[in-house]
Amino acid sequence: MTALCARGRANVRPRLLSAAFLCILAAAPALAAEPIVVQIDQARILHLPERASTVVVGNPLIADLAIQPGGLAVITGKGYGSTNFVVLDRHGVVLTEQNMQVTGPDDKIVTLYRGVDRETYSCTPDCSRRITLGDAPEYFDKTVAETVTRNAQAAGVGGMSSGH
């Protein structure tokens, strides 16, 4: 900026401001891309860069990312919060790094508090138990057990109806 000042005072201010602005831009870190947002218990499709062979997820308790054929990946929201993923090629070269954010559901839910214990119900259209992180352990465990039993019974009935 000293070269700008040596040229004269007539145009110092506009040049000085332009030079200061460029210095600020050069010194500021590059703006990070917006995070990929996925809702908990939902999946989202992502196109991976060519040559992608490995994906590393910062915190797999928050989100999972599975590589699919054709350069696709499926991101699944597992828990609330933010994490990142890094895509590498076969030689370990970083192809991309991206932040992910897992948010709560946007469907109609009712949250019932019994003192400090919480229960969550999905009301689409009728209210039924919903497994939600943060619910009271007894409620959460009972709802998970019911879901596992129901799914096992459905799998058993499905196996019997296919001619076995």
Q: How do the pLDDT tens digits run along the chain, 164 residues long?
A: 444 444 444 444 445 444 444 444 443 344 458 999 999 999 999 999 888 999 999 999 999 999 888 889 999 999 999 999 999 999 999 999 999 999 988 889 999 999 999 999 999 889 999 988 899 999 999 999 999 999 999 988 766 655 55
- Name the residue among 101, 50, 53, 113 with its Cα closest to residue 77: 101
Residues 89 and 41 in one domain: yes
Report the number of distinct structural domains present in the chain. 3
* Residue where one domain finishes, among candidates 103, 132, 149: 103
Expressed as residue numbers, the domain containing 47 is 36-103
* Residue where one domain finishes, among candidates 69, 103, 137: 103
Which pTM does this prediction carry? 0.65
Q: Are strands 94-103 and 36-39 parallel, antiparallel or unpaired?
A: parallel
What pLDDT is attached to residue 24? 40
Residues 81 and 42 in one domain: yes
Q: Report the b/e string of 45-68 with b at 16+ CB within 10 A.
A: ebebeeebeebebeeeebbbbebe
CATH code assigned at 75: 2.60.40.1080
Q: Nearest 5°: CA angle at 162, between 159 and 164?
A: 70
Residues 60 and 115 in one domain: no
What pLDDT is attached to residue 32? 56
